[in-house]
Structure 1
Amino acid sequence: MTIEAKTVEEYISKLPEESKQAVTKLRDTVKENLPDGFEEGISYSMIGFYVPHSVYPNEYHCNPKLPLPFINIASQKNYVALYHSGLYADKQVLDWFVTEYCKYAKTKLDMGKSCIRFKKMDQIPYPLIGELAQKMSAKDWINIYEKNLKRK
């Protein structure tokens, strides 16, 4: 489900009622816990938290015009998704998250490489998402990206 929006507020206003509260709370949780160095905006037609070009002017390999993405939040047809690039790029953070998830959530972890899917909006583990958002600084993310993901 792609939502065309130019601002985060416009994106949220276009969400279905059943996911609007969850997306807003995920956004607030990330914003409150994300270290300095990231900015928020629309990225890949989702709410995005990224390293701006003013901090990391090098080109991002998927789309050089876009800043280096880190966390995205989206409302999909049957779930709300949180995309965290650090989970894909850093095995220690991934292992920590998978281990901690069962301590915070009653539902089974539904996850792809960097995508965490929440089908039950009332069971999103916001405190765990807050901790996850704190795990990497912008500098940490840039270093991991350059070491592991950037095309040489």
Structure 2
Amino acid sequence: MVEQTLTFEQYLAGLPPERRSEVERVWRAVRENIPAGYAERIGDKFLTFAADDEQLVALASQKNYISLYLMPLYVFPELKAKFDAAAGTKLKCGKSCINFSRAEDLPLLTIAEILTACPDVKAYKAHLLQMRAEAQRKRKPG
């Protein structure tokens, strides 16, 4: 399935009016702090930055909330600890996302620091491959 490519303005125009400024504020913080080399993709459902096919960050407007998918929290434990300390317990987190209604609910400065701390594309992909290989070894019996 090929995802439709939109401009950022087209994506925003497709959102409910009350969501536009929230999404715009969060995505601006992401754009300003994403390391060089990651490609921005804008589809009808998600805004993403990825290293080829490996997502680093995504944002989506869901039915009842907005979701920020911040992969560094799941692959770099030290960045997860930093986020948890800044966010406290006020945020609702899913298995792979942070759900929120207002941008002000997010620790945007900490998110900016987390993105800035991410490695370049080549190192990020190598880290993911290493993590997957380790997980595979742990699953094998014996």
TM-score, structure 1 length as denominator?
A: 0.74
CA gap of 1:79–1:122, structure 2 versus 1, over 3 A, is same
Q: Is the 8 A contact 2:4 2:43 kept in 1?
A: no
Give the equivalent residue in structure 2 for 1:60.
Answer: none
TM-score, structure 2 length as denominator?
A: 0.79
Distance across 2 between alignment mates of 1:43 and 1:82: 15
Computing the radius of gyration from Cα coordinates, the structure with the larger value is 2
3-state SS, counterpart of residue 114 of structure 2: helix
Bigger helix share = 2
One-letter amino acid of the counterpart of residue 54, structure 2: L
Percent identity of the aligned residues? 30
Give the equivalent residue in structure 2 for 1:82.
Answer: 68
Question: Across the two proteins, how many residue pairs are aligned to each other?
Answer: 131
Superposition pairs for residues 1-152 of structure 1, below 5 Å?
A: 5-7=4-6, 8-42=8-42, 45-52=45-52, 67-102=53-88, 108-137=90-119, 138-149=121-132
Distance across 2 between alignment mates of 1:5 and 1:121: 26
Q: Is the 8 A contact 1:5 1:11 kept in 2?
A: no
**Unmatched 5+ stretches in structure 2:** 137-142
Q: Is the 8 A contact 2:93 2:99 kept in 1?
A: yes
CA RMSD across the alignment: 2.4
One-letter amino acid of the counterpart of residue 49, structure 2: F
Q: Is the 8 A contact 2:47 2:60 kept in 1?
A: yes
Distance across 2 between alignment mates of 1:18 and 1:140: 38
1:109 positional shift: 2.1
Q: Is the 8 A contact 1:87 1:113 kept in 2?
A: no
